[in-house]
Amino acid sequence: MMEASARIKHDEVATRQQWKWTAVASMANYIDAGSIVAGGSGLSLWAAHFHMSNGLIGMLGAFSSNAISAGVGALIGGRICDVYGRKKIYAWDLLVYAFGILWIIFAVKMWMLFVGYVLVGLAVGADVPASWTLIAELAPKHSRGKMSGFAQVLWNLGPVITLLLALALSRLGLLGIRLLFVHLLVIAIVTWAMRRGVVESERWKAAVERERQSNSKLVQGKRSGMQELFASRANVGALVFCILMYGIWNLVAGTNGFFLPFILRTVGSETQATSVELQCFNFLLTVLATIIVFMPLNDRVNRRGLFAISSVLQVIAFLLFVFFHLNTTIALANIILYGVAFGFGQQPFFQLWSGELFPTRMRSTAQGFMFAVVRIGLGLWSFFVPILTAAGFHRLALVLTCMLAVSGLIGVIFAPHTEGKSLEEIELERAGRSHHAISQGASVHSGD
């Protein structure tokens, strides 16, 4: 009991070691977003070099780390993390990522480019649920949102650095794009080495031990597969909420992140350097908004209010594309509104809620499943973006605006009240247990 009490007191404030592990785990976000933006920055150059049609451009986006391959990787990686441990995936995923990056760097045929994008996508997809789960389980209850927010800072810092490099290397054409991926290769190898010192989640180990000591084969059998995830109404409700809220929004974010430079060049007639500058500014604003707004506030205020403000700003940002001709001024206004709102909107809240709303033994499985559905859905959507853009950009902008409005309404109406609660408290509340059981369970588990 004394040991448990000491842990509880110690976990009230995040330690330097917890922040270090969070930073290392958060590199999943850096390399994921970095690979998406690097691919997007060079999309028009790849298309010209390999004489790609709109259909092939859409296919490349669909099977890249922006979409389908990442979804498949998340589905596999998420389940591995719940069965074998959170850090198990760290032994191999970044090595696969590095191997895929090499294919892209040395691509001399179109099929080589596709192979590299698929391998990179599988690797980052497997990494994301492992890292997001580990971040949530390592964090004290009053710092969980802040630590998740730090991961999102790296998600947006990856594109900022990648785009600045793209801008500096823009005169080199396709060689500059290849060098962008060299930078990601180096980051991946360094991160893989640093992760060897990351500890396993105590929450996961405690849950496995409780399951091992249980004499109920029925419970163990259920938890060995995906069926337990869908056995609870609370789990199904959380899955539907997160997938709809984040998935619909991610169709807009994915379109914006991967295709914005392409759209600005082909529709807005901007130069490669200008389109990269605008997108870099977008991500920089998101970094600042996450640091200034999301990280200090989301553990202390009503999260639904923050989410609502972000949603309104995003809708306004894309209405500009609906009613005005696309030029540098309109693009800049969109980037300012959307970039700021992004920092405390659907992306950081999805990472946070997807880690809070599921029991420990299926947390990573749930995140992997949701990430898979969302990314594969984005992949299917990506097939049609170049075609829709060619048919009429204002029509595409109207569709994206409606998606943002729907996602925002779902989040505002159904957002859970989980701020300031430990993962154990949330789990027991969602299981319908009494306040006494919550207090008793929180004192026994190894968490906050």
Q: Is residue 201 predicted with pLDDT exceeding 60?
A: yes
* Cα–Cα distance measured from residue 177 to residue 98, given in angstroms and rounded to the nearest whole number: 16
Could you give the percent of the chain with pLDDT greater than 70? 85
Compute the Cα dihedral for 64, 39, 181, 85 and give only its sign: negative
- Using the CB atoms, write b or e for 354-388: b if 16+ within 10 Å: bbbbbbbbbbbbbbbbbbbbbbbbbbebbbbbbeb
Could you give the percent of the chain with pLDDT greater than 90? 39
Q: Is residue 168 predicted with pLDDT exceeding 70?
A: yes
Window from 145-154, 170-179, 251-260 with minimum mean pLDDT: 251-260
Quick: pLDDT tens for 63-73. 777 778 888 99
Name the band, by pLDDT with cuts 50, 70 and 90, for residue 441: very low
Q: Is residue 196 predicted with pLDDT exceeding 50?
A: yes
Quick: pLDDT tens for 345-397. 999 999 999 999 999 989 999 999 999 999 888 878 877 776 776 767 778 88
Name the band, by pLDDT with cuts 50, 70 and 90, for residue 265: low
Is 340 or 221 the better-scoring residue by pLDDT? 340
pLDDT at 240: 96
What's 12-444's CATH class?
A: mainly alpha
Residue 145 DSSP code: H
Nearest to 205 by CA among 88, 121, 105, 55: 88
- Using the CB atoms, write b or e for 244-266: b if 16+ within 10 Å: bbbbbbbbbbbbbbbbbbbbbbb
**Tokens in use for 2?**
């004394």
CA 273 vs CA 14, 115, 121, 172, 176: distances in Å:
41, 27, 26, 11, 12
Nearest to 138 by CA among 371, 360, 358: 360
Assess contact for 165 and 175: CB atoms under 8 A.
no
CA 370, 94, 154, 187: dihedral to nearest 10 degrees? -160
Name the band, by pLDDT with cuts 50, 70 and 90, for residue 141: confident
pLDDT at 342: 94
* Cα–Cα distance measured from residue 415 to residue 238, given in angstroms and rounded to the nearest whole number: 10
Average pLDDT for the chain:
83
Neighbours of 414 (CB within 10 A): 15
Compute the Cα dihedral for 260, 261, 262, 265 and give only its sign: positive
**Tokens in use for 257?**
């992140």
Neighbours of 42 (CB within 10 A): 24
Does the model's pTM come out above 0.85? Answer: no
pLDDT at 59: 80
What is the Cβ-side half-sphere exposure of residue 117, based on CA atoms within 13 angstroms?
A: 28
Quick: pLDDT tens for 330-359. 888 888 999 999 999 999 999 999 999 999
**Residue 123, amino acid:** A
